[in-house]
Structure 1
């Protein structure tokens, strides 16, 4: 089974490549650090699997998902990431990821995920799976109006975070201290169950606070 590996860190690629090449029936035939190079390899090899990080410098592995589906529909994509927010995982699955694996996972999980996707199954790291199960068993009242869990000020700050403004910029515009903004951000993450800025952006887009970035 041919595998393309996409990660913007060379040392990380080297370690993952070594792991994959030790798994029976799988071989890394190409590596890339950005979307353009990754898609050139996908079009060249039409691999069974692409293993990609969700964050590729200034680019996103989410964009890679759609491009792979269009160029090579039979190729399965495994997202390998340090981010475990529900919004991010849900968006990756919606866009066609066959598996979502955390970088903190045990090496054996990568083999399980690879074998699962080539069988046509899906795979989620246990920690991710628990988050997604929790997401769907929450009280309906919370799910119906998710923005109601945030105050007006928190929605304002979330909108600014999602617009890629820094803590310093937000503090200046709202005439608040950076510590206050950081505290609001922590509360927003706690209330939404999101644990990273990428997830906050997706949450804001999903619930109409900002338009989807180009």
Structure 2
């Protein structure tokens, strides 16, 4: 079995090498381009893709995983966040991530995680996932109020953000410049009181879920 590992942390990488099964081969890449290149060249070679989410670029990496799932929807992805975030977990599970685990997971638990995911289930604990769904439903109405001041074009941008599109992709979809997309985002962040793409994506997803 081969596992593609998007990991920039040396200590976590060494730990993963120690806890995987003896017949498992880990292939390490340290950037998004490397992941895309390998999955494009050999889309069926990797049983899983492990992604370590570091603190410094956490929100951006969450969105990178969303985009990864959009481009490679059949690839099973398991994330290993270095911080606890229910909003990030909700975002990732909503786009089909197969599970999330602690970066320094034990050998027996990792084996259990892979067994569960391989059977088609999601690893993260059913109670935890249900809690996330309930939380999303309970706040959907308030999310809708926060988006009501957006113009039609701004709402379009917000929905594209929820799908994981980059500024360049949004510009192409809407036939506008990237500079205009950035201007829309600045206005959207201010109107909705959101600080980044992750928070905005959750708002847009909640609004879509109640329509």
**TM bucket normalised to smaller:** 0.5 to 0.7
Helix, strand or coil at the partner of 1:53: strand
TM-score by structure 2 length? Answer: 0.59
Kindly provide the CA deviation profile for residues 163-210 of structure 1, in whole angstroms up to 9, marking residues without a partner as x. 5xxxxxxxxxxxxxxxxxxxxxxxxxxxxxxxxxxxxx52344336xx
Match of 2:37 in 1: 40
* Contact 2:2/2:46 (8 A) holds in 1: yes
**Structure ranking higher on relative contact order (CA contacts 8 Å, 6+ apart):** 2
Equivalences for residues 84-123 of structure 1 within 5 A: 84-103=84-103, 105-123=105-123
* Contact 1:48/1:74 (8 A) holds in 2: no
Cα 1:62–1:21, aligned 2, differ >3 Å: closer, same or farther? farther
* Contact 1:98/1:122 (8 A) holds in 2: yes
Match of 2:203 in 1: 207
* Contact 2:7/2:52 (8 A) holds in 1: yes
* Contact 1:86/1:132 (8 A) holds in 2: no
Shift of 1:118: 2.4
Match of 1:66 in 2: 67
* Contact 1:69/1:75 (8 A) holds in 2: no
**Structure-1 separation of matches of 2:135 and 2:70:** 32
* Contact 2:99/2:122 (8 A) holds in 1: yes
**Structure-2 separation of matches of 1:131 and 1:88:** 13
* Contact 1:78/1:99 (8 A) holds in 2: yes
Match of 2:142 in 1: 145
The root-mean-square deviation of aligned C-alpha atoms, in Å, is: 3.5
Is 1:50 aligned to 2:52, yes or no? no
TM-score by structure 1 length? Answer: 0.58
Q: How many residues align?
A: 158
Cα 1:75–1:147, aligned 2, differ >3 Å: closer, same or farther? closer
Q: Which runs of 5+ in 1 are unaligned?
A: 149-154, 164-200, 209-214
Q: Which runs of 5+ in 2 are unaligned?
A: 146-188, 205-211
Cα 1:64–1:145, aligned 2, differ >3 Å: closer, same or farther? closer
Helix, strand or coil at the partner of 1:102: coil
**Structure-2 separation of matches of 1:40 and 1:3:** 15
Is 1:159 aligned to 2:204, yes or no? no
Is 1:18 aligned to 2:18, yes or no? yes
Shift of 1:113: 1.7
Shift of 1:89: 0.8
Kindly provide the CA deviation profile for residues 56-78 of structure 1, in whole angstroms up to 9, marking residues without a partner as x. 8645153244335524x432111
